Structure 1
């Protein structure tokens, strides 16, 4: 195996599940944390490889740690900071802190029921407590990622594999196919699939979703099933598709706003206490 995947025991019951956090809420918090990483990376003009690496490390972390002990906001900062070093496109800590402070203020503004157009960012004091609290959060987040992942930060990204697969299937010259499949791979970063499945299954799932949406026929009957060309088990491919399509489901107002209220570990602990968990 060229990169680490979660064990069957970790998948069956994550540390967050053991602490009473429902599976659907954990998945929503994972997704929201990855969205914050992506938003911060775009504002910082980071490379896509760094954003993808940060989100994969972030997803792996929750198979060895609980959201009761670590907040998704702070761990997202640590993951992005660490990934920027791993992919040799480092960012200044001050810039990272400023961007996350902006995002957190905007989240607080919208969570209070105020219109997004009314938001005005209030820059933090250079020597204020907020800066030093977020600075400590970045350092601790990066340290905990390295410690709990056993310094195993090897990440295999899917983009080169996608290009090769599309060439073999004769689809590489179609820009709509390439763009849509690339988009599904990026959507998958918001889910745990990169910590659960081998790369051929993930890339095959992105291609499957693409060709079905665009109604492009590919051989799918025995013995000429196209995904078997890439040694991708159908059960894994179909499961990855399910994770990705879950992102597009209709959500209730509560499901939409709940993750933004549980960014920090103290918020999660309060949520658990209100429901009888200790």
Structure 2
């Protein structure tokens, strides 16, 4: 792992243009192509999801870890920083940020076993003092690197809060929240969260979910749904178009059975990145319809190896669902 020589001010922005992300990331400067970086992003997001589930942490903590990784790799290169190590560190730190801490020992052991899950001897190896101590030191060094890279900015805002708040205020069909929530889960595994503010992603997710569920969102006077997200029609149009574009990137893949169920009922639990073919065409038309509802006068101002670098690590499915305040207290 290597700390960039470029100083990072805590006042620097955390939102980037698509051009910056695709063509000017630190990894690109080190010769890593866009396609490879996208594959590495998918790898560490999948790893974070599985690690979080094994550690039994809330989805918001997993999402926070993803945000930490995304931000880290907009400041540091995959060529110099092993994604498995950074993802493990991000999980450990995210659990503390979201006030759902996990013991360092548990994070180290579970992560090591997950990284080396094809090696039947890994559960025994990580419990050897020498191997464990080496991993512990690696994670602690990695945590310092991560904190320095993000300039100790631990203010991680996620789309879940504005999404739930809007649903409560608008009193919309309850199952729609599950669909929108899962779309948020999906977008957090992409660069959308580096391009748009959390409430923009929440608004776009609600719009897309409504079209999947064939639910008409409130548009009457005094209860215009998109006003709950502090987003203008033009901004909503931009973010939803980007979402449709992301859906189209995987149109050659088979439609996720979970999304298929969601389009018929309300049991969405899958990954919207796998909407494909004709279904994607339907989504695009539905999104155009959704956006057209708000094309009115704006009321807001415009605002080294296949896994990456060589690892220092020594070798040796339900998604989170929206929770009510009552369930959090239980």
User: 2:12 and 2:179 mapped to 1: Cα distance?
Assistant: 26
Residues 37, 51 of structure 1: 8 Å contact kept? yes
Residues 83, 308 of structure 2: 8 Å contact kept? yes
User: 2:13 and 2:61 mapped to 1: Cα distance?
Assistant: 18
User: 1:91 and 1:264 mapped to 2: Cα distance?
Assistant: 27
1:127-147 per-position Cα deviation (integer Å, ceiling 9, x unaligned):
454323322221122111111
* Structure 1 equivalent of residue 56 of structure 2: 45
* Structure 1 equivalent of residue 14 of structure 2: 5
1:164-187 per-position Cα deviation (integer Å, ceiling 9, x unaligned):
32345542x332x11111111112
User: 1:250 and 1:78 mapped to 2: Cα distance?
Assistant: 32
User: 1:64 and 1:93 mapped to 2: Cα distance?
Assistant: 25
* Structure 2 equivalent of residue 140 of structure 1: 141
Residues 48, 66 of structure 2: 8 Å contact kept? yes
Which ranges in structure 1 are unaligned for 5 or more consecutive residues?
A: 110-118, 252-260, 268-278
Coordinate RMSD, CA, aligned: 3.0
Shifted more, 145-154 versus 233-242: the winner is 233-242
* Structure 1 equivalent of residue 179 of structure 2: 180
Residues 194, 202 of structure 1: 8 Å contact kept? yes
Tell me which protein shows more helix as a share of its residues: 1
Is 1:266 aligned with 2:310?
Answer: yes
Decide whether aligned partners of structure 1 residues 174 and 245 sit closer, same or farther in structure 2, where only a CA change above 3 A counts.
farther
Is 1:25 aligned with 2:36?
Answer: yes
Is 1:160 aligned with 2:178?
Answer: no
User: 1:237 and 1:168 mapped to 2: Cα distance?
Assistant: 22
CA drift at 1:44: 1.1
User: 2:107 and 2:125 mapped to 1: Cα distance?
Assistant: 13
Residues 16, 194 of structure 2: 8 Å contact kept? no
Normalising to structure 1: TM-score of the pair?
Answer: 0.75
User: 2:42 and 2:75 mapped to 1: Cα distance?
Assistant: 17
User: 1:87 and 1:23 mapped to 2: Cα distance?
Assistant: 31
CA drift at 1:202: 0.4
Q: How does 1:116-135 map to 2 (within 5 A)?
A: 122-135=123-136
1:78-105 per-position Cα deviation (integer Å, ceiling 9, x unaligned):
1111112222222112111111111112
Residues 6, 60 of structure 1: 8 Å contact kept? no
CA drift at 1:67: 0.1
Which ranges in structure 2 are unaligned for 5 or more consecutive residues?
A: 1-10, 255-304, 312-330
1:177-212 per-position Cα deviation (integer Å, ceiling 9, x unaligned):
111111111122211222221122201221122122
Residues 185, 202 of structure 1: 8 Å contact kept? yes
* Structure 2 equivalent of residue 82 of structure 1: 93
User: 1:88 and 1:229 mapped to 2: Cα distance?
Assistant: 27
Residues 206, 241 of structure 1: 8 Å contact kept? no
User: 1:244 and 1:62 mapped to 2: Cα distance?
Assistant: 23
